[in-house]
Structure 1
Amino acid sequence: MPPTPHTTAAHRTAYRAELALDTGEFHEPRRPDCPWCGSRRLRTLLRTPDLLQHKPGTFVLEECRDCAHAFQNPRLTAEALAYYRRDFPQDTLPVRILRTRAGRGRHLAVARAMLPYPEPESWLDVGTGFGRFPAAAREVHPYTAFDGTDPSGRVERARALGRIEEAYRGRLPDLVERLRARYDVVSMLHHLEHSPDPREELRAALATLRPGGHLLVEVPDPGCWFGTLLGKWWLSYGQPRHLHLVPLSNLLDELDGLGCTVVCVDRCAPHVPYDLTGAVALRLAGRFAPVLAAPFALDHALAPLLRRTRFSNAYRVIARR
């Protein structure tokens, strides 16, 4: 529902009050080691403010020199993360650009990636939001029952709209006992980067799968060369809302350690051509929309080439339990 003048004025009043907050209290203590491999050889990738909502605070993304895992350090507390995710500006240009990866065409392509495998009877979409992916995926898998999880009330709205059959509000690790061994497919589409503990999410996802079921993961690729080229203006860094960016090799090793068989790795198809457009939109704070025509055209013209190089901005993994 679009904001009304009344709600917009109320939000602005609240934001003015929040500008006086001590943002140092928003963070947990800085950790001296990598949360993925334990190495203490860390380097700072970037420091940035909130470029989407312009709420107060500065955020640091660090990278492990040994395993290349990138993570927010110090990390936001749960309460602070909820604050930065609240009132997310869905109608700003940068967010609309981000949502191009969540359009119907993209969702259909992801759903088709599961066609080579047995037709699933049941599918759980983790972090489903308003259920747009299940709504599109049903066109490809018409005999599949789609359910969804989400920490917010959006998942209940998705059920009310008929996009999913069962709605589970909360984090998947907290729901796993209710959902154990229930699904043939579990999808996590641009979800792990928002999780405080990606490994916990992966273990929970596998626990909800039936033996022989498939886990479908799609995430930003922290090895994408656009990150180096654009720095804090790269949309996929997503500070302060992205807590972890997992390199492909780390995810593959983790799935292997959990007893999975990786049946598909794709660094081409998940690429969405929005990197240059998003950087310009962030730099201009969403103003001067006509200026975006040139980077938009360049993103799309280069996409067939870039998706086959390390400029590809996302990857997809399908693993069988």
Structure 2
Amino acid sequence: MATTNQPPDTPDTPAPPPPASDAERVARLRPAYQAELADGIARFFEPRRTDCPWCGARQLRRRLRTKDHLQRKPGTFTLDQCRDCGHTFQNPQLSAAGLDFYYRDFYDGLYAEKIGGALDSDAARKRNHERAMAMRRHARPKRWLDVGTAGGDFCLAAREALPGTTFDGLDIGAHVLGAQQAGRIERAYQGFLPDLADELAGQYDAVSMFHCLEHTTDPQAQLAAVHTVLRPGGHLIIEVPNPESPFGRLFGQYWLPWFQPQHQHFVTMRNLRRALTELGFTVVATDREESHIPVDFTALVGLYVLRLLPFRDEPWLPRPPGRLGAAVTKTVFWAGIPFCFPMYALDRLLAPVIRRSRFSNAFRVIARREE
């Protein structure tokens, strides 16, 4: 009997399904979001405060009232300012349920790829390298904890400036675990720094918080936790939006650093320096130039265009826009995009001047933990 060396017939391996389109992903998420919103949004907010969370003074004034222009999730958000110390804060502040609702599908889930692409741009990598070099002028840390690390983009870029440093990352999102799996960080901690501070006490020579403090519900507790995890002689490098920039008043709800509802506290440089000194830090450097991100004019137009979009397909909106609504929305969107290009050029043209002025949209502080 003749034989052959051919393998027996096997069923063809099924091809993987094509990735879901944005519309399909939205449709899958809509029932859960609509069920969650059926009870209203009151539980997403804490009671309104009558005193300043930074200094306790009771002299407050309203600074801004706005909507969520980026995602168009429901709700109205108010920023109040303390007349005594100048601290600006979200009032009422998001509750734990609110933080979950408004953060969900932004840094992960539905918008993860879009946000991740923005964080991993050439400009972002250059900025992260400059941040590491700023620390290098004061210290050569062996162990570094990056708080609010997201996908570990800073740690990846900083290795070039500090090749002998081990970088760990901490974040509340699951993407910090992916950063560890990808080799961008050595250890991943998922959670809030104050909850993990005792476990990590005295383990680090450097801690970074790049545009993280403004997201937290209690910035003073975060700073105290940093003091705990740093060794004596260790350094903290921190960047936050500059709430004293005149652009915040001129552009109002279209100034990107207000970033509602995610940004909850806006600390002035004076308040931050004083708080660090009281904790036992010595401020060794401050900066408004390198920390400025040239995006104010571009974002001004971009946020206004997003507000004008008449119909958007989002799972937290009650229904899809339909064929006509989608067509109208695309028309408005693409009609607005050309206005962003001259604003982009203007941001770059004016950046050298703005960096050296009080209009800078961010500032940096480097401080050393004393004995």
Contact 2:43 2:97 (8 Å CA) reproduced: no
Q: Using a 3 Å threshold, how does the CA distance of structure 1 residues 56 and 101 change in structure 2: closer, same or farther?
A: farther
Deviation at 1:305, TM superposition (A): 0.2
- Specify the alignment match of 1:174 in structure 2: 195
Alignment of 1:40-119 (within 5 A): 40-88=58-106, 89-90=111-112, 103-119=124-140
Q: Does 1:210 align with 2:228?
A: no
Q: What is the CA–CA distance in structure 2 between the aligned matches of 1:219 and 1:30, rounded to whole Å?
A: 24
Alignment of 1:1-321 (within 5 A): 4-5=21-22, 6-16=24-34, 20-88=38-106, 89-90=111-112, 103-285=124-306, 287-288=333-334, 289-321=337-369
Q: What is the CA–CA distance in structure 2 between the aligned matches of 1:98 and 1:179, rounded to whole Å?
A: 27
Q: TM-score, normalised by structure 1?
A: 0.94
Where 1:31 maps in the other structure, the secondary structure is coil
Deviation at 1:264, TM superposition (A): 0.3
RMSD, aligned α-carbons:
2.0
Q: Using a 3 Å threshold, how does the CA distance of structure 1 residues 98 and 108 change in structure 2: closer, same or farther?
A: closer
Q: Using a 3 Å threshold, how does the CA distance of structure 1 residues 97 and 141 change in structure 2: closer, same or farther?
A: closer
1:195-233 per-residue CA deviation (whole Å, 9 max, x = no partner) reads: 000000001011100100000110001011110110011
Where 1:139 maps in the other structure, the secondary structure is coil
The amino acid that maps onto 1:309 is S
Where 1:103 maps in the other structure, the secondary structure is helix
- Specify the alignment match of 2:15 in structure 1: none
Q: TM-score, normalised by structure 2?
A: 0.82
Contact 1:19 1:55 (8 Å CA) reproduced: no
Contact 1:34 1:40 (8 Å CA) reproduced: yes
Q: Using a 3 Å threshold, how does the CA distance of structure 1 residues 197 and 13 change in structure 2: closer, same or farther?
A: same
For these two proteins, the number of residue pairs brought into alignment is 319
Q: What is the CA–CA distance in structure 2 between the aligned matches of 1:50 and 1:163, rounded to whole Å?
A: 32
1:123-171 per-residue CA deviation (whole Å, 9 max, x = no partner) reads: 0000101101000001110000000101111111000000000111100
Larger radius of gyration: 2
Q: Using a 3 Å threshold, how does the CA distance of structure 1 residues 101 and 194 change in structure 2: closer, same or farther?
A: farther
Q: Using a 3 Å threshold, how does the CA distance of structure 1 residues 275 and 101 change in structure 2: closer, same or farther?
A: farther
1:263-304 per-residue CA deviation (whole Å, 9 max, x = no partner) reads: 000011100100110111111018232221011000110000
The amino acid that maps onto 1:131 is G
